[in-house]
Structure 1
Amino acid sequence: MSTSSAAPVEAQKDSVMQVEETAPVQADAGAQKGEGGEATTTAPGVIPEGFIVHTESSTSILFAAPPSTSTSGPAPVFLNPVQEYNRDLSVVAIRTWGEVRQREKRERWEEGLRKKWAKKRARDAKGDGEKGAKKRKAESGEKEAVVEAKEGEAEKTSESAAPAEPQEEKLPPPPTYKFTLLEALSATGLRAIRYAKELPLLRYVVANDLSASAVADIRRNIAFNGLSPAGHSSLPSVPLSIPLSSLKPGPPYGLSKSDIDEALYGKVRVNEGDACVFMYQHRDEEKRFDCVDLDPYGSAVPFLDAAVNATADGGLMCITCTDMGVLAGHNYPEKSYTHYGGVCINAEYSHEVALRLVLNALSSTASRYGRYIEPQLSLSIDFYVRLFVRVRTGPKEVKAVPSKTALVYYCHSCQTPHFQHLGRVTEKVNPKNGQSNAMYHVPSGPPEEIEKGGRCGECGGKMHIAGPMWAAPIHNRDFVKEMLEHVESNSGDFKTSDRIKGMLRVALAEVEAPLYFSPAKIASYFHAICPPITTFASALLNAGYTVSRSHAMAGSIKTNAPRSFVHDIVREWIKEHPVAMKNVKEGSPAKVLLAKEQRHTVSLTPHPNVSSALLDNVKLVRYQMNPQENWGPAKAAVRGAPQK
């Protein structure tokens, strides 16, 4: 939402951005009216009086300039420049999904066409056989003899020269499948305009906002970027005397429906209204959007139900949540539960838990409507989480949702986690036909590692419960790989491409086992000197476990090894780097951990593949450096524009 000087209203979204002030250029021409009567710039690139420009990638947008006499600071515009990374990443993800979707649809189109041809050949063969039989039965005498003679000659010819194999029909050029996109909370329209300019397969994007002033800003920025409906000028083959509204796809002008719609409505269409109401109005299958982007100020939970209903089968949902104090904190477990249906965790791996809580909220929402989710990329970034998830319809997959959902028991002292899945799936093979059938069961619990009395089996600490949360993989490796290939071949399109490549490489290499740990934190539980991260990783690799970094925390390790083995690495390290026992109190968790017998054979010998496992052999920008002063989440929008 926006608060331009034209229509000051209470703003409800996004953050205050420090805009670099430039001398505004006065527009020579007057202003034209939008659909709602708002003033918009008459010509692309012309800066109206009283406005300044902010440019990002392919798009420039206008903001009301603060008066020189104002003491209220910068203009209250609703955009955080640090979020350029979010927008760049979204363009890469949606481009990649659009190409994947294009391949899927073309494969189905080719398969359907081949089946159609096969049925036609079968019908033709059957028709010709019946027709020939009736003809031969009706004919007699000399006519039949002539036919037989000709057939005999044909048989002799076939013996000397075998006929060529029937060639398969050549496929015609495949159609191009464009997609529709909804930015439900558009504010200034920057993201929607970037999508219109930077997504080749986009048919159109709808920029929606509840605020009338935001809608005025969006229309102004659309015109400023030259994306207003072009009318007849975009369809030179159509005479000016013919109304565009009367045109239909196909002859005589050879236009597609998208060509006509773009000429009439433009590539960026604006809607003023409540985001949930608008999405519920598009819940019918033929009205759904192929992609829905939710980037609210705070939590996206209030919009999830409507967004799931408005997303087409196989479509993409892009979700941002900035309420990390709730998702990854420990002060608001009750708010975490009421918002996301799961309790947060007070542990070092809370940022990955935040991702899993949002995914669980989305999964449980989708399953109510017989739909399920496929996470493509789930990232914890700076002060927010950003998820890219495909939504599909399938009753069988919905039945498996409990097995992908879990509670987490974790120790208050040593943070050892144990997952308690809420469902169990087994496969049963039918001996008659060999088909495999899924069987769904109630799981047993609690986890065996928890001692009686609800105590940690590692240090004897008190166990806490968190969740339920998503317990299945949070990335699609094939999708992430395609994203990485795309950004590597188009680095010049994105200012933040180095960081995108770094984070995608880390996400691609991540072990699918949930949660992570930091060697420094593990060593602190023993009051021990911290082993180097390469020593920790080598010990895990030497034992045959998988190892990777986590994108969510610098200096962290993800592994499929049990926490008992991780603790034994520290015990092995302590043999050469003893702990000062005078600092260890009697009865403390550290005392219990140190007294416990080592259960695994641990080798701290450097492993030859440790550098590649930790991506130390690749030059990457893995984690965010502070891009500017006060770069975190900004305050919510203020009321109105500065007054002169």
Structure 2
Amino acid sequence: MRERGMAITIPGLDVPLKAVREGLAEVLVPAEEIRAPKKAPVFYNPAMVVNRDIAVLVLRAWWARGGLDRPLRACEPLCGCGVRGIRFALEVPSVGEVMMGDLNPSAVRLSRENVRRNRVEERVRVELSDANVLLTQHSAPGRRFDYVDLDPFGSPAPFLDSAVRALRSRGLLALTATDMAPLCGVYVLACVRKYGAIPARVDYAKELAVRILLGALARVTGAHDMGIRPLLAHATDHYARAYCVLLRGQGKASESVSRLGWLAHCPSCWERELLPGLGSLPERECPSCGRRRLIAGPLWTGRLFDSEFCHAVAEEANRVPWVSRRARRVLELLAEEADGPPTYYSLPKLCDALDLGLPPVRELVSALRERGWWASRTHFDPQGVRTNAPAKELVKAIRELVKAR
């Protein structure tokens, strides 16, 4: 991304603007960087470029895998300055139509100007509309989208129902949640209100946030006799992001609901387990040490990643030279961990609790593999390890590495 020129103004928008390049798009954004979206006349967040880079790559890889014989119809109902939808039109060859919307007249005005500047008027439309209204207008058969991207400020929960109804069968839903404090257990009641789940403050809180988000989505789709199949999820910086294919049918809905369940985590011995099924709560007593466990949920206990798809997206990044280096790195780690077991261990927190030195992550992963356990790094935490080794075996490997050093 690079800036060009001095401050710019356009008719009808009393905000100084600057031009920035992101991907293949050059767009006008507010010249003054404002961190709080609600205080900005039009919001553009340069920190979300990785999110948008990965969205482009996911859409390219998904279309190549899907085998549809017609142009793709995409919708971004909360478009801001329009950069995401414009990038879809410019960088995803299969995209035939992008419908963008926003309830902010300034955002719509700026988005339309950016559409014009990037010469994608024939494929990109911008509507002044509430997100739920726009999606509901496209909920009838024949009007639905192949792809819907929800990227709100805060929780996507208020938009899930209308987004699900606006997607065709086997369509792809992308959703972002930036309210990580509730999802990670800082504000428990806020998480219960928005997602219908009790969170927990654990060292793998970012993964837990994704699982709570997917659990909320699965309950919404179930009400419409639809199920979900997660393809890829990531949590970088201040947000959680997930991509799910929606599958119509009572059987698919029941299959997804059967993957809702609970997390039981022991803060004393670090053991944890995901337990599918909502019929009863897990036992509070830890079977390993007898101490009291934390219980979180309901949440998604199924897989977060489609390994084949994650590798395809990582390979797609190698074909697209304008994608950020950080996005490539996130995708490399996603491909590495995609086949792994649920949850991961944050080494600094574990080693601090045990009063141990911190071993290099790569060395620990290698040591665990040599002992016959599955192990990898994780994109969720640069000092995290995903493994199926019991906590006591992980601690043993850490002690041996620290002693050897």
For normalisation by structure 2, the TM-score amounts to: 0.89
CA contact (8 A) 1:402 1:421 kept: no
Given the alignment, which residue of 190, 194, 197 partners 1:342?
197
- Structure 1 residue 289 corresponds to structure 2 residue 145: yes
CA contact (8 A) 2:3 2:21 kept: no
Whole-angstrom CA distance in 2 between matches of 1:287 and 1:391:
16
- Residue 90 of structure 1: aligned partner: 55
The alignment of Structure 1 onto Structure 2 pairs a total of residues equal to: 397
> Where do residues 54-69 of structure 1 align in structure 2 (5 Å cutoff)?
54-63=20-29
- Residue 332 of structure 2: aligned partner: 505
Shift of 1:213: 2.1
Whole-angstrom CA distance in 2 between matches of 1:573 and 1:382:
32
CA contact (8 A) 1:21 1:65 kept: no
CA RMSD in angstroms comes to 2.9
Deviations 1:10-64 (A, max 9, x none): xxxxxxxxx968435799xxx7xxxxxxx69xxxxxxx99653232222222346
- Residue 379 of structure 2: aligned partner: 551
CA contact (8 A) 1:531 1:573 kept: no
Opposite residue 206 of structure 2, the aligned amino acid is H
- Residue 377 of structure 1: aligned partner: 232
CA distance 1:198–1:403, change in 2 (3 Å): same
Partner of 2:345: helix, strand, or coil? coil
Opposite residue 282 of structure 2, the aligned amino acid is P
CA contact (8 A) 2:275 2:301 kept: no
CA distance 1:180–1:532, change in 2 (3 Å): closer
Partner of 2:181: helix, strand, or coil? helix
- Structure 1 residue 469 corresponds to structure 2 residue 324: no
Whole-angstrom CA distance in 2 between matches of 1:95 and 1:298:
27
> Where do residues 205-604 of structure 1 align in structure 2 (5 Å cutoff)?
205-228=98-121, 266-328=122-184, 330-422=185-277, 446=282, 454-490=284-320, 492-494=321-323, 496=324, 498-510=325-337, 511-534=339-362, 536-569=364-397, 573=400, 577=403
- Residue 43 of structure 1: aligned partner: none
Whole-angstrom CA distance in 1 between matches of 2:160 and 2:40:
31
Deviations 1:171-218 (A, max 9, x none): xxxxx4211111010111121122122221111101101122222222
CA distance 1:521–1:22, change in 2 (3 Å): same
Residue segments in structure 1 that go unaligned for 5+ positions in a row: 1-18, 32-38, 41-47, 67-73, 106-175, 229-265, 424-441, 448-453, 578-603, 605-644
CA distance 1:332–1:63, change in 2 (3 Å): closer
CA distance 1:52–1:419, change in 2 (3 Å): closer
Partner of 1:318: helix, strand, or coil? strand
CA distance 1:289–1:460, change in 2 (3 Å): same
Partner of 2:142: helix, strand, or coil? helix
Opposite residue 499 of structure 1, the aligned amino acid is R
Shift of 1:357: 0.7
Opposite residue 210 of structure 1, the aligned amino acid is L
Deviations 1:61-109 (A, max 9, x none): 234667xxxxxxx9854101121121111111111111122x2x4xxxx
CA contact (8 A) 1:347 1:415 kept: no
CA distance 1:536–1:22, change in 2 (3 Å): closer
Shift of 1:389: 1.2
- Residue 252 of structure 1: aligned partner: none
Deviations 1:601-627 (A, max 9, x none): xxx9xxxxxxxxxxxxxxxxxxxxxxx
Whole-angstrom CA distance in 2 between matches of 1:206 and 1:528:
54
State, as a whole percentage, how many aligned pairs show the same letter: 30
CA contact (8 A) 2:136 2:165 kept: yes
Partner of 1:345: helix, strand, or coil? coil
Whole-angstrom CA distance in 2 between matches of 1:341 and 1:394:
24
| Higher Cα Rg, which structure | 1
For normalisation by structure 1, the TM-score amounts to: 0.57
Residue segments in structure 2 that go unaligned for 5+ positions in a row: 33-38
Shift of 1:568: 4.4
CA distance 1:372–1:525, change in 2 (3 Å): same
Whole-angstrom CA distance in 2 between matches of 1:85 and 1:197:
17
CA contact (8 A) 1:458 1:564 kept: no
Partner of 1:377: helix, strand, or coil? strand
Shift of 1:418: 2.5
CA contact (8 A) 2:232 2:304 kept: yes
Whole-angstrom CA distance in 2 between matches of 1:493 and 1:20:
16
